[in-house]
Amino acid sequence: MESFLQFFEQMPSWQKLVWILACLLFSWFLEGIYPLVKLNYKKWKHAGVNLVFLGTSLAINIVFGLLTVGVFSYIGTHQIGILHWVHLPIWAELFITILFLDFVAQYAVHYYLHKVSWMWRFHMIHHSDTKVDATTGTRHHPGDYVLREIAALIAIVIIGAPFAFYVVYKIVTILFTYLTHANVNVPVWIDKPMSLIFITPNMHKFHHHFERPWTDTNFGNIFSFWDRIFGTFVYGNPNKVIYGLDVLDGKLDENVGYQFKVPFNKEIKTDY
């Protein structure tokens, strides 16, 4: 187990980038051979728009990567965090860390990105995509991404996990992000039982419906039981979902300049 974690602790940045691309291409391949719905769009153009947002996220990630290293060094030196106060097997501490980070840095911050007006303005860009596919998982306004990374740093300080645990969490998160956004037709007999524990492609599609209350459901990223516990879980026929946002012009979902300026456009209603 220690050698397994050491691999992730020493994982170079280029391997992490390869993992991102591998997960994206794998999800893209699945939706290509077994699509959920027929999307009337130019796939490469759509991908190019969403990859612009991936580029901004990677740039921000460089800065937060430096901050994260400093945070891990500090909490390690000063023995800060829950895991420094308890003694459990490594596998148990890793599992607890993934659970905690998924709750704080995914479910909780995602919930507030929907419920706090100024935060929602940044998050709207992720929901403005009217053709949800694997690349939609990369579609985050820089302001949205910064808020998520801040939440992750807070969670790290609270849990006091080692750096390797955090890398494992990020690796798992990336896989779920692309798979759950993919326009892939997963049979209900597979998807529904899996949704008892995990976020699944069919389940996540409801989160991208164009109007509330469906938009404000299924906030999780890895585990679905957060949504079940807090009453934000829904499940049904994903073919009924209409993508986009009712307060934005769907025809401008591939206009990068417009999308970057959405959070600062006071003419756009937030319903809050």
Region 81-91: mean pLDDT is: 90
Q: How confident is the model at residue 168 (pLDDT cuts 50, 70, 90)?
A: very high
**Is the Cβ–Cβ distance between 5 and 165 less than 8 Å?**
yes
Nearest in space to 111 (alpha carbons), one of 228, 225, 203, 216: 216
DSSP 3-state assignment of 84? helix
Q: Please say whether the beta carbons of 259 and 125 come within 8 A.
A: yes
Beta bridge partners of 209: 243
pLDDT value of position 222: 97
184 forms bridges with which residues in the sheet? 35
Q: pLDDT at position 2, please?
A: 67
Listed residue (145, 183, 136, 186) closest to 38, CA to CA? 183
Neighbouring C-alpha atoms within 13 Å toward the C-beta of 163: 18
Distance CA 118, CA 124 (A): 10
Helix (H, G, I), strand (E, B) or coil at 184: strand
Percentage of residues in the chain having pLDDT higher than 90: 73
Which pLDDT band, with edges at 50, 70 and 90, does 269 fall under?
confident
pLDDT on residue 272: 52
Q: Is the pLDDT of residue 82 over 70?
A: yes
- Provide the token pair at 114: 């929907």
**Does 213 sit behind a cis peptide bond, omega within 30 degrees of 0 on the bond before it?**
yes
pLDDT for residue 34: 93
**Model confidence pLDDT, tens digit, residues 112-133:** 999 999 999 999 999 999 999 9
Residue 223's beta-bridge partner residues? Answer: 198
Tokens describing residue 127: 């929901």
Cα–Cα distance, 139 to 130 (Å, whole number): 12
* CA count, 13 A, side-chain hemisphere, 221: 26
CA dist 178 and 128 (Å) reads 17
Least confident of 5-9, 134-138, 236-240: 5-9
pLDDT of 232 above 90 = yes
pTM: 0.92
Indicate the burial class of 85 (C-beta count within 10 angstroms; 0-12, 13-18, 19 or more).
exposed
pLDDT, one tens digit per residue, over 32-47 is 999 999 988 899 999 9
Residues forming a β-bridge with 35:
184
